[in-house]
């Protein structure tokens, strides 16, 4: 397991990301308008739920 680098202050305007997941979320879901970001997150949750239901259905049918 690798050690985390020490935290840096955000005194300048650069964004320090804690994790790769945070970078991915910001890339795919960040928007200046908070309602657009919420809508994108809702779409992601609906897609995940649909995928889970399809997998469950396939398991039950087999």
pLDDT digits (tens, 9 = 90+) for 2-49: 566 665 555 544 555 577 878 887 787 777 788 888 888 899 999 999
For residue 40, give the nearest of 17, 56, 24 by alpha carbon. Answer: 24
Residue with tokens 């200046």: 32
> What is the phi/psi pair of residue 55, to 5°?
-65, -45
pTM of the predicted protein model? 0.50
**Predicted local confidence at residue 50, as pLDDT:** 97
**Predicted local confidence at residue 51, as pLDDT:** 97
Residue 55 pLDDT > 60 = yes
**Predicted local confidence at residue 9, as pLDDT:** 57
């Amino acid at each position: 397991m690798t050690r985390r680098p020490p935290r840096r202050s955000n005194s300048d305007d650069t964004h320090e990301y804690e994790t790769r997941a945070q970078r991915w979320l910001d890339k795919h879901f960040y928007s200046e308008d908070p309602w657009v970001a919420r809508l994108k997150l809702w779409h992601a949750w609906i897609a995940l739920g649909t995928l889970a239901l399809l997998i469950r259905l396939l398991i039950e049918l087999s």
